[in-house]
Chains A and B, each alone.
Chain A
């Protein structure tokens, strides 16, 4: 950020603040956006994409591209360029991996289904469930 003393628009003395980003303390001034604080610290990329893990930071700067998403105080999907930094805010960078491909595509064991609960345990009258377990299943619960 342009140091106040060097800035030709003659800013008044700003109020300092600090946030943590992934546990690291970053200093900023009141009125800055979270993206501003992060960029001013020299960090250009603060999110990793889902499919290829490539870094992203800000792109559009006006809140339409959603590249700059961070988690703030536990809330995900916050656009860092739109949200003002608040002293003490806990910011975590976002990276959402894609789910594993469906088991039918992996060709591996499908997630096994549990067996029905015997009526004596459940306490509810029911007919015994047919044990129609496909041969590919291992009879236990995966994951």
Chain B
């Protein structure tokens, strides 16, 4: 490895990370890409494993050819090392001194949640964080019944497993993501009995109508969404705005849901509930960015709770870049534009370079698109009206809304940290990934304002590590060419068109 080559470590092999890798390579950097999965593509391109080749798999995805070409290019590039099954579990901030890089990245290499995985340590010149996001699903009565899943789970089951998830499926929540979820379900043969979008028409108009000419430049997006809408019509899936699933019913699995109108604040309108038989429910109210590594690296977050970046996608920590959903929920096009800019900048490319001019333009267009999504579909503060005292708010620790409130009341605590300890909310094995934002909002409301400045997004242990693995030594890899790919799984095209 030439001493002069900049080493760029990219965490996350979804759209943003892959775009960053290509751009960094084009600038001549030496690149390592880490992903905890055994596949590339992140959530957006979650696809069937190599053991299940299918001639027309591309029909399940958008831009699948583009993804396959990008993956192939990176896999065949000797200057780009891809490590699958690479779980980053800790990131230590860089020390002082000239030789100190932006951080030390600790990795477990092996099968997910394995025992005795190999430990690797990286001290790259630059880090690009492209850790993506996961569904945010608001709690509601019965959401813990088997058969109630997130939109992301529906996509995974459809595109990654080809599982027919339910005979009568309800899709609910908020955001344009509901449409591809419904489409994927329909394409596996599930009957989608309805899509229920919480945003009301005036709310949607607020987001989508102002300056509609801006959408012209996001033409591809419009075509994509039009495709979903057309798909809905073909499959005759009813789409309702201003509606929400406010309860799931069943004994050991979901058997029915109650759907009700919601007002502009997403509070259910009394008397509008109606029961719909369903054996599967997919609910997503937007996305939560996966911030723990950015926080561990010392990156500042903005007021909206995303990683702050400059025009070159550099965070407030020199040498650490961020791209994709962690800088703002904006979808695949924005992620790839940001990824390209981040990879280019991390590899030393100048900001005004013509090679990234197109990406800079695309970033501007799709960022405004992302703003509209938030304006139209963003979570409104009336949602807690759906909750009953025995509704679970923390799934891992089975903390109910009632006990959350009564503990906040009885302790009179205004410390999020202390309330987590006294309620157990957010202290389970998912470490608040599912419930954290909701718990924070509920406690903010109940206490009149939390005052200890702590956050549920901070997770120094970014993924579980076994004590035996932690106690074992680490393997430092200063020369990345020593690393052997543990998986020979190739993401080559599975069959041709």
Q: List A residues at the B interface (Cβ < 8 Å).
A: 1-2, 6-12, 14-15, 29-33, 35-36, 39-40, 44-45, 49-52, 54-67, 69, 75, 77-79, 81-84
Of the candidates B115, B253, B495, which one forms a contact with A44 in the assembled complex, judged by CB atoms under 8 Å apart? Answer: B253
Complex Cα–Cα for A52 and B36 (A): 32
B113 within 8 Å of A (CB atoms) = yes
Chain B stretch 64-78: residues in CB contact (< 8 A) with chain A: none
Of the candidates B52, B134, B149, B253, which one forms a contact with A64 in the assembled complex, judged by CB atoms under 8 Å apart? Answer: B134
Of the candidates A12, A29, A54, A82, which one forms a contact with B113 in the assembled complex, judged by CB atoms under 8 Å apart? Answer: A82
Chain B residues within an 8 Å CB radius of A66:
396, 428-430
Chain A residues within an 8 Å CB radius of B115:
75
Q: List B residues at the A interface (Cβ < 8 Å).
A: 36-38, 43, 46, 48-57, 59-60, 111-115, 134-135, 144-150, 152-157, 160-165, 187-189, 252-253, 290, 395-398, 428-430, 433-434, 464, 495
A59-B150 contact in complex given A9-B55, A9-B60, A84-B49, C-beta closer than 8 Å: yes
Chain B residues within an 8 Å CB radius of A8:
56, 59, 187
Q: Are A60 and B147 in contact (CB under 8 A)?
A: no
Q: Are B55 and A10 in contact (CB under 8 A)?
A: yes
Chain B residues within an 8 Å CB radius of A35:
161
Of the candidates B150, B162, B164, B430, which one forms a contact with A11 in the assembled complex, judged by CB atoms under 8 Å apart? Answer: B162
7 closest A-B pairs by beta carbon, nearest first, are A61-B153, A31-B51, A31-B49, A44-B146, A82-B112, A61-B156, A11-B54
Q: Are A59 and B428 in contact (CB under 8 A)?
A: no
Q: Whose C-beta in chain B lies nearest to the C-beta of A39?
A: B163
Q: Give me 19 other A-B pairs in contact (C-beta within 8 A), A15-B51, A31-B51, A31-B52 excluded.
A: A1-B161, A2-B164, A11-B52, A12-B52, A12-B54, A31-B49, A39-B165, A44-B147, A55-B253, A60-B135, A61-B149, A62-B150, A64-B433, A66-B428, A67-B395, A78-B112, A78-B113, A81-B156, A83-B113
A-B contact count (CB 8 A): 160
| Min distance, Cβ A67 to any Cβ of chain B, angstroms | 7
A1-B114 contact in complex given A8-B59, A9-B59, C-beta closer than 8 Å: no
| Min distance, Cβ A31 to any Cβ of chain B, angstroms | 3
Chain A residues within an 8 Å CB radius of B59:
8-9
Between-chain CB contacts (< 8 Å), 17 pairs: A1-B164, A2-B164, A9-B162, A55-B145, A55-B146, A56-B144, A59-B434, A60-B134, A61-B150, A62-B135, A66-B396, A66-B429, A66-B430, A67-B395, A67-B396, A79-B113, A84-B111
Q: Whose C-beta in chain A lies nearest to the C-beta of B56?
A: A9
Chain B residues within an 8 Å CB radius of A75:
113-115
Complex Cα–Cα for A78 and B144 (A): 20
| Min distance, Cβ B230 to any Cβ of chain A, angstroms | 17
Complex Cα–Cα for A52 and B165 (A): 26
| Min distance, Cβ B137 to any Cβ of chain A, angstroms | 8
Complex Cα–Cα for A39 and B161 (A): 10
Q: Are B49 and A50 in contact (CB under 8 A)?
A: no
Q: Are A84 and B38 in contact (CB under 8 A)?
A: yes
Q: Are A2 and B188 in contact (CB under 8 A)?
A: yes
Chain A residues within an 8 Å CB radius of B51:
14-15, 29-31
Q: Are A56 and B146 in contact (CB under 8 A)?
A: yes
Q: Whose C-beta in chain B lies nearest to the C-beta of A69?
A: B429
Chain B residues within an 8 Å CB radius of A44:
146-147, 252-253
Of the candidates B113, B146, B396, B464, which one forms a contact with A45 in the assembled complex, judged by CB atoms under 8 Å apart? Answer: B146
Complex Cα–Cα for A61 and B280 (A): 14
Q: Are B135 and A29 in contact (CB under 8 A)?
A: no
| Min distance, Cβ B256 to any Cβ of chain A, angstroms | 15
Chain B residues within an 8 Å CB radius of A78:
112-113
A40-B153 contact in complex given A60-B434, A66-B396, A67-B395, C-beta closer than 8 Å: no
Complex Cα–Cα for A52 and B51 (A): 39
Q: Are B55 and A65 in contact (CB under 8 A)?
A: no
Complex Cα–Cα for A59 and B148 (A): 7
Chain A residues within an 8 Å CB radius of B187:
8
Chain A residues within an 8 Å CB radius of B112:
63, 78-79, 82-83
Complex Cα–Cα for A66 and B51 (A): 25
Chain B residues within an 8 Å CB radius of A9:
54-57, 59-60, 162
| Min distance, Cβ A83 to any Cβ of chain B, angstroms | 5
| Min distance, Cβ A123 to any Cβ of chain B, angstroms | 33
Complex Cα–Cα for A40 and B158 (A): 12
Chain A residues within an 8 Å CB radius of B146:
44-45, 55-57
Chain B residues within an 8 Å CB radius of A58:
149, 153, 157
Chain A residues within an 8 Å CB radius of B396:
66-67
